Amino acid sequence: MTTDATRTSPPADPAGGTRARLRARWDGLGRSTRILVWLFAAAVLMKVITYLGIADGPLVGDEAFYLDSGRALSNLIRDVVWLRSPDTAEIERHVVGSGWFMPGMSVVLTPLYLVVPGASLALVRAYLSVFSTILLLLTVLKVRRTLGDLPAGAMLVFPGLVPTYAVFGAAAWGDTSAGLLVVLMLCQAVDMLRAARDHGTISWRDGVKLGIYAIVAVYFRSSVSLLVVGMLGLTFVLSLVLARRADRLRVVGTYVAAGVVFVGLLAPWSIGASASLNGPVLTTVSVPTVRANAFGDRDTVCFGECDPGTSIWFSPLRYSREQGRATGLSELAIADEMSAYARRHVTAQSYARDVGINSARYFGTPARFATLLRWDGAPYNIVPLAEVLTLGTFYPACLVMLVLLGAATRRRFDTQLTLVLLKVGIIGLLAQPFVHIGGPRYWTTMAPMLGIGAALLWTLRQERRAELPVQRGAVSTTLFALQIALGVFALAVVATIGLLAI
């Protein structure tokens, strides 16, 4: 007879045990964490849906340069590893090129071309989509640690669930990556200012992190340079205000470390591009041609009409190079002279009207980029989805932007500080129509800040309803004054441009 002690026990179910542990871990997460996980999963799904719609779509604009530059950098690494003489001509031609593009996206593409030298366009877009998804995740985690669950979730909704933003993530443009790096920089600034308030000083390691975020953002898009400089300068001043008097020298050292990292990482590009182009290059050299085409007479950019049949960008470039060779001058100096000549009749009124036109292009047709990448072999047409969801979220986000610029609070240090930094970021990016031809791709850089801004406005509303006490003291007064000054500045600029354009 078999007793209970000798009876054989049923075999274990490893799959069931694993499911139970995962279920227990999931149940152990807080409600807000589970919501964030679902939102991130939805953002990943949006990436997959949009990728299938544009996987083998055509290269658009500057994408071709970034792909060639990535291949050239991968060849340089192979030459170094195999102790071969690097092909400097290839680097000058495909990495430096005309000096118009910072090589941030080229560096991102380099590992792919190291592993798969002949990577297809569909593979490139898949690789970039994965990269942008990982960067989004890292940014959301940083936002959650610094600002909380609500801003992190808001950023996953806008721009995480916006189809056109997802399409940008699969393209070889640095706009979306630069925007996420700006958010990382903003969160790092908040962390540093909290440390200055709570401990009276800041670690030099925090300064190094701030410098890294700042320079990587510039490498992705040089157009964020004004924003980066403004945020660095403001954070430095506020740190001195918050720090103990005895520790202010140490705080200065922290920002010196940030500056050293920034300049040190910029130097390889700046020195190499300056040597290649025989002229001073800090970030990019496209500003003269951009200003000529944006605000000047395009029919006289080449001291007359440029060669027909090419774009408004490359025809002036070819002319400046030819004139540089003929005169022995730098093509950069020639480009400056060409720009000044094309803008010789610019008036305040004409400039204001051009800014208005650029702004209309900036905010108009926000889903246009998705239409450029569609391809005939796609399993479905991504454009209707992109247009409906993008238009349905973009213009409410623009309303959030306007409210943010006009908002002010004195109730909590964190909300005051975040509001000031968001205003600086938005104003810095809105400088684009004042210096460049506008376009519907530039909003993607600002988009993550608008998602965070929407959450901040909700927080401000909750603080008012809770009747939190108004903060007093020099720090609160300074932050409140900055909020008002930035809002008034934005309003004054818009009003001035409007009056001049009439």
pLDDT in the model for residue 2: 47
d(CA 318, CA 331): 9
pLDDT in the model for residue 109: 97
Q: For residue 440, give the amino acid letter.
A: P
Range name among 9-13, 40-44, 377-381 with the lowest pLDDT average: 9-13
Q: For residue 349, give the amino acid letter.
A: Q
Q: Any residues with CB less than 8 A from the CB of 329 and at least 6 apart, and which?
A: 323
pLDDT in the model for residue 13: 58
- When pLDDT is cut at 50, 70 and 90, the band that residue 7 belongs to is low
d(CA 137, CA 358): 32
The tokens describing 103, both together, are 């090589």
Show me where the domains of the chain are located. Answer: 28-56+120-284+349-501, 297-345
- When pLDDT is cut at 50, 70 and 90, the band that residue 1 belongs to is very low
- DSSP code string of 325-379: HHHTS-HHHHHHHHHHHHTTT--HHHHHHHHHHHHHHHHS-TTHHHHHH--TT-S
Statement: residue 309 has pLDDT above 80: no
Whether 441 and 364 have beta carbons less than 8 Å apart is answered as no
Range name among 4-13, 362-371, 405-414, 484-493 with the lowest pLDDT average: 4-13
Q: What average pLDDT does the segment 290-298 reach?
A: 91
79-110 tens-digit pLDDT: 999 988 888 899 999 999 888 899 999 999 99
d(CA 371, CA 70): 25
Q: Is the model more confident about 336 or about 313?
A: 336
CA distances from 386 to 117, 334, 381 (A): 32, 42, 9
23-82 tens-digit pLDDT: 777 777 788 999 999 999 999 999 999 999 999 889 988 899 999 999 999 999 999 999
pTM exceeds 0.85 for this model = yes
181-227 tens-digit pLDDT: 999 999 999 999 999 999 888 999 999 999 999 999 999 999 999 99
- When pLDDT is cut at 50, 70 and 90, the band that residue 331 belongs to is confident
pLDDT in the model for residue 11: 58
The tokens describing 83, both together, are 């102790």
Whether the ω angle into residue 379 lies within 30 degrees of 0, i.e. cis, is: no
Phi, psi dihedral angles at 243 (to 5 degrees): -70, 155
Cα-based angle 88, 259, 238 (whole degrees, multiple of 5): 150
Indicate the average pLDDT of the chain.
91
Statement: residue 495 has pLDDT above 90: yes
Query: Alpha helix locations (H) across 82-203?
Result: 88-91, 104-115, 121-147, 149-157, 163-169, 175-199
Statement: residue 168 has pLDDT above 50: yes
Q: For residue 318, give the amino acid letter.
A: R
Integer distance in angstroms from the first to the last C-alpha of the chain?
104
